[in-house]
Structure 1
């Protein structure tokens, strides 16, 4: 059954003759007759009783008439839905982001996106870096924002910026300069995130390369908790520099770390771009466009 066959059936049923129905469909009468004939042959029976004066529905045609109207209405609503989605007037996009990015840079990016596409719904998953990769690989999320994975396994990664980790220190912490080494930092109790945090994994991997051993005094799930622990003199911590403002607001100071310097690329993780929905492509392009020396983008 094709859309044209359903439209032809409804046109003949409404007008009661082939001439008027053909004119309504902008077809010749022989062309319309062939469409109806082929339709009836496919169905295995007659839909119309033809006479010299009028065309009437058979019992089967009467039974099909309300269904045909439903089919056409459903077709129109479906095509309209698709048009709205293609025009970014309707739809939903799901984004997964590491918690530290979700709490700092993501709101600004989403605000820009909503200004351009106010009718789109946005679903946010703030999960650890490893879970971002899992969700994109599983296809349940189109766009992820995370550290660059060691293996892409068919996915694509578009870097947004490189984040350099910094030390978080109590306001009264005394240092010899405007930066601090790892060995000096680790003379204090160390606070960090629990596994499977990507921040924790990056710290461990880089320090292992340098042969630096460290003991974790406190580990927790949230960066906000780390900030409170440092503010209450439980120890020191290391975080991505993107979170520095969050820590400064608590009255803490953030310093660059040396020996080693830890940097990680943060970017967009997705399937190949041509497989993304129109909404996901729009978010992808906006994120790349928003990147700059003033990252995160200002409202």
Structure 2
């Protein structure tokens, strides 16, 4: 079976068809006339047909050459499209970035990164799966997404995780709950006596929570399990129990009538990182999105993603109408969070 024509041979054929002179076609292609002659001869040899009749005075297509011409033109268009598409992908002018992210990430800093990226790369489509940590790993390994943003919950060597931010776990409770009078930073023993609202067992928060309970040899009462942090917060507001959630839950749900305190315990500070398949190259548009995340230092300084030790001077925080900058409180507190020792507590819904 003969070899298919190369891109250079196709271009040489079409240029010679246009000019019907080897000298002009060679000038257009920026090659020497002998080089062009070799390319045409090789093409004819590979195809097994004579494409041109030529002598010292003229060059013209043979009947076989005229039959081949439409196919060569179509092939050239397809080749140009391939080169253009490859160039667009290389320079991130078009494509799709697929990201699997923890719900807490999808509700906090990820939207800002997407906004900046879309402004810089308007031709790129971005798809986000907000799923639990276990599912992030599955999607990354199956190559259904380009990368994930979550925590490493297994020692699977087929994936690698690049640390990005830290996220602390907190106890969320209704305003007026006895935990409001507990120490500024809670220990497990402070919330263990109360019924708890937890995320489901396949979530990274639940995995970290149970590891900590096992290490401390502590038994707790689980009153409710929820898939979403917003659901868990609603259960807390209704008085079902105390929720153990990351600080990023503040942005994910309605905090009216609720307060929260950081918990200092083993495994209660999780590292959130960029998860990708080991020994697997990212497509250029996905790599550019990660570079955009790294170029935005304000994402890393998100109030929801700080170590508990940096916030151990803040007792409980509450949210509600009339709270925030107008009360002389730090503007950096998310959602108008305030200290319980500075303002009156907001009423529950």
- 195-204 vs 246-255, which moves further: 246-255
Query: Higher relative contact order by CA 8 Å / sep ≥ 6: 1 or 2?
Result: 1
- 237-246 vs 67-76, which moves further: 237-246
Q: Unpaired segments of 5 or more residues in structure 1?
A: none
Q: Is the 8 A contact 1:130 1:196 kept in 2?
A: yes
Q: CA deviation at 1:186?
A: 2.5
Matches within 5 A, 1:117-156: 117-156=121-160
Q: Which runs of 4+ in 1 moved over 4 A?
A: 245-248
Q: Is the 8 A contact 2:101 2:148 kept in 1?
A: yes
Q: CA deviation at 1:190?
A: 1.0
Q: Unpaired segments of 5 or more residues in structure 2?
A: 306-331, 333-349
Residues 1:213 and 2:213 are matched in the alignment: no
Residues 1:237 and 2:211 are matched in the alignment: no
- 2: CA distance, partners of 1:91 / 1:110: 14
TM-score (norm 1): 0.91
1:278 is aligned to 284
2:205 is aligned to 199
1:294 is aligned to 301
Q: Is the 8 A contact 1:193 1:199 kept in 2?
A: yes
Q: CA deviation at 1:168?
A: 0.4
2:58 is aligned to 54
Q: Is the 8 A contact 1:164 1:261 kept in 2?
A: no
Secondary structure of residue in 1 paired with 2:271: strand
Q: Do the aligned partners of residues 264 and 50 (structure 1) sit closer, same or farther apart at CA in structure 2, a change above 3 Å counting?
A: same
Q: Do the aligned partners of residues 259 and 48 (structure 1) sit closer, same or farther apart at CA in structure 2, a change above 3 Å counting?
A: closer
- 1: CA distance, partners of 2:184 / 2:29: 79
- 2: CA distance, partners of 1:115 / 1:20: 45
String of CA shifts for 1:41-91, please: whole Å, max 9, x gaps: 111121122345432222321121011111112222222222222222222
Secondary structure of residue in 2 paired with 1:250: coil
Residues 1:181 and 2:187 are matched in the alignment: yes
Aligned with residue 68 of structure 1, among 62, 72, 75: 72
- 270-279 vs 72-81, which moves further: 270-279
Q: CA deviation at 1:163?
A: 1.4
Residues 1:264 and 2:258 are matched in the alignment: no
**How many residues are matched?**
298
- 1: CA distance, partners of 2:166 / 2:222: 26
Q: Do the aligned partners of residues 186 and 123 (structure 1) sit closer, same or farther apart at CA in structure 2, a change above 3 Å counting?
A: same
Q: Is the 8 A contact 2:172 2:244 kept in 1?
A: yes
TM-score (norm 2): 0.79
Q: CA deviation at 1:247?
A: 5.4
1:12 is aligned to 16
Secondary structure of residue in 1 paired with 2:193: coil
Residues 1:99 and 2:103 are matched in the alignment: yes
Matches within 5 A, 1:102-113: 102-113=106-117
